[in-house]
Amino acid sequence: MRLSMEKHIIYSRKSSESEDRQVLSIPAQLSELGDIAKRESMEIATTYQESMSAKASGRPVFNEMLKVIEKGKGYSLLVWNIDRLARNMVDGGMILELMDKRKIVEIRTIC
């Protein structure tokens, strides 16, 4: 059992682009991430899901999530794969900055 003050957030994303066909659907990602959270007794603060490419910055749901994280401290992100979070320098840089500030303390992936 995890003994932590971390706030856990699930983020799932599926691009509609053809190159992203191998990625699990959003419901499948949510199911697997929920199983991990349950198995490890993680209390999920909120879940975000988005259907948009991450090649360029400007994803509205991702940006909303970052605003919430910026106001708090000690978040743990659960994502199916690290590329669900960022595939461009701007978004990747924002994640790194939040980690430097200890707003994000952990990123957990399935693969």
Walk along the chain (111 residues) in steps of 10 and give the mean pLDDT of each run: 71 78 86 96 96 95 98 95 95 98 96 82
H or E stretch covering 106: strand 104-109
Asked whether 84 and 11 are in contact (CB, 8 A), the reply is yes
Give the pLDDT confidence score for residue 47 in this predicted structure.
98
Asked whether 52 and 81 are in contact (CB, 8 A), the reply is no
Q: How many helices (H) and strands (E) does the chain have?
A: 3, 4
Q: What tokens does 39 get?
A: 């198995």
Q: What is the pTM of this model?
A: 0.88
Q: How far is CA 39 from CA 1, 32, 35, 43, in A?
A: 9, 11, 6, 11
Give the pLDDT confidence score for residue 21 in this predicted structure.
65
Give the pLDDT confidence score for residue 1 in this predicted structure.
40
